[in-house]
Structure 1
Amino acid sequence: MQTRSELAYLSTTELSDLMERGELSPVELLDHCLERIEELNPKLNAFVLILAEQARAQARDSEDRLRRGEARPLEGLPVPIKDNVALAGAPMTFSSRMAPAFDMPVDAELVARLRRAGAVFPGKTNLPEFGTIPTTEGEVHGPAHNPWDLTRTPGGSSGGAAAAVSSGMCPIAHGNDGGGSLRVPAACCGLFSMKPSRGRVTPGPLATEKFGALNINGFISRSVRDNARFLDVIAGPLPGDPFPAPPPMKSFEDEALTEPAPLRIAWTTDGPLDVPVHPAHAAALRDAAELCASLGHQVDEATPDWRDDMVAVLFIQLWASVIGSDVDLLEELGGDPTTIEPHNRALHEFGKEISANQLGVTMSKLRQYAWRVGAFWERFDVLLTPTTSEPPLKLGAHFELAADDPLFPLNRAGVWIPCLPLINVTGQPAANLPLSWHEDLPIGIQAIGRIHDEATLYRLSAQLEAARPWADRRPPIA
Structure 2
Amino acid sequence: MSFSDYASHDGLGLAELVSKGEVKASELAEEAIGRIEKHNPALNAVILKLYDLGRDMAKQPVEGPFKGVPFLLKDAFGDIAGYPTRLASRFRAETPAKEDAVLARRFKASGVTILGKTNVPEFTLLPTTESNLYGAAHNPWNPDHSTGGSSGGAAAAVAAGIVPLAHANDSGGSIRIPASSCGLVGLKPTRARTSLGPDYGDVLSGLCHEHVVTRTVRDCAAMLDCIHGNEPGDPYVAPPVKESFLEQTKRNPGKLRIAFSKTNPAGAKLHPDCVKGVESVAKQLADLGHEVTEAMPPLNPDEPGNLFLPLWAAWLSSEIELETARRGRGPKEDELEPLTRGLWEVGKTVSAAQYLL
**Alignment match, 1:95:** 88
Does 1:173 find its partner at 2:172? no
Name the CA shift for 1:45/1:9 in 2 (closer, same or farther; >3 Å): farther
Counting only pairs closer than 5 Å after superposition, residues 5-404 of structure 1 correspond to structure 2 as 5-62=4-61, 71-85=63-77, 86-334=79-327, 336-338=330-332, 339-360=335-356, 364=357
> Identity, % of aligned pairs?
39
Are the counterparts in 1 of residues 264 and 270 from structure 2 also a CA contact under 8 Å?
no
Alpha-carbon distance, 1:211 to partner: 4.1
Hey, what's the Cα distance between the residues in 2 that align with 1:355 and 1:42? 44
Are the counterparts in 1 of residues 128 and 149 from structure 2 also a CA contact under 8 Å?
yes
Q: Which runs of 4+ in 1 moved over 4 A?
A: none
1:55-79 residue CA offsets vs partner (Å, 9 max, x unmatched): 00100114xx5xxxxx333211122
The one-letter amino acid of 2:153's match is G
Are the counterparts in 2 of residues 220 and 227 from structure 1 also a CA contact under 8 Å?
yes
Hey, what's the Cα distance between the residues in 1 that align with 2:287 and 2:300? 30
Hey, what's the Cα distance between the residues in 1 that align with 2:339 and 2:191? 27
SS of the aligned residue for 1:333 comes to helix
Hey, what's the Cα distance between the residues in 1 that align with 2:95 and 2:203? 24
The one-letter amino acid of 1:314's match is L
Aligned-CA RMSD value? 1.4
Alpha-carbon distance, 1:195 to partner: 0.3
Which deviates the most, 220-229 or 95-104? Answer: 95-104
Hey, what's the Cα distance between the residues in 2 that align with 1:9 and 1:51? 24
Hey, what's the Cα distance between the residues in 1 that align with 2:308 and 2:34? 41
1:83-137 residue CA offsets vs partner (Å, 9 max, x unmatched): 1121122111110111122221211101011112322111000000100110001
Are the counterparts in 1 of residues 7 and 161 from structure 2 also a CA contact under 8 Å?
yes
Are the counterparts in 2 of residues 94 and 130 from structure 1 also a CA contact under 8 Å?
yes
Hey, what's the Cα distance between the residues in 2 that align with 1:156 and 1:225? 23
Hey, what's the Cα distance between the residues in 2 that align with 1:30 and 1:9? 16
Hey, what's the Cα distance between the residues in 2 that align with 1:125 and 1:325? 23
Alpha-carbon distance, 1:302 to partner: 2.6
Alpha-carbon distance, 1:316 to partner: 1.0
Structure 2 stretches lacking a partner, 5+ long: none
The one-letter amino acid of 1:41's match is N
Are the counterparts in 1 of residues 194 and 229 from structure 2 also a CA contact under 8 Å?
yes
Hey, what's the Cα distance between the residues in 2 that align with 1:199 and 1:256? 21
SS of the aligned residue for 2:37 comes to helix
**Alignment match, 1:407:** none
1:9-39 residue CA offsets vs partner (Å, 9 max, x unmatched): 4111211111111111100001000000000
Hey, what's the Cα distance between the residues in 2 that align with 1:266 and 1:95? 36
Structure 1 stretches lacking a partner, 5+ long: 66-70, 365-478
Hey, what's the Cα distance between the residues in 2 that align with 1:57 and 1:242? 35
Hey, what's the Cα distance between the residues in 1 that align with 2:204 and 2:312? 8
Hey, what's the Cα distance between the residues in 2 that align with 1:231 and 1:44? 27
Alpha-carbon distance, 1:345 to partner: 0.3
Alpha-carbon distance, 1:259 to partner: 2.0
Are the counterparts in 2 of residues 271 and 306 from structure 1 also a CA contact under 8 Å?
no
Counting only pairs closer than 5 Å after superposition, residues 440-451 of structure 1 correspond to structure 2 as none
TM-score (norm. length: structure 1): 0.72
Aligned residues: 353
SS of the aligned residue for 1:217 comes to strand
Name the CA shift for 1:29/1:199 in 2 (closer, same or farther; >3 Å): same
The one-letter amino acid of 1:80's match is L
Are the counterparts in 2 of residues 225 and 257 from structure 1 also a CA contact under 8 Å?
no
TM-score (norm. length: structure 2): 0.95
The one-letter amino acid of 1:49's match is L
SS of the aligned residue for 1:124 comes to strand
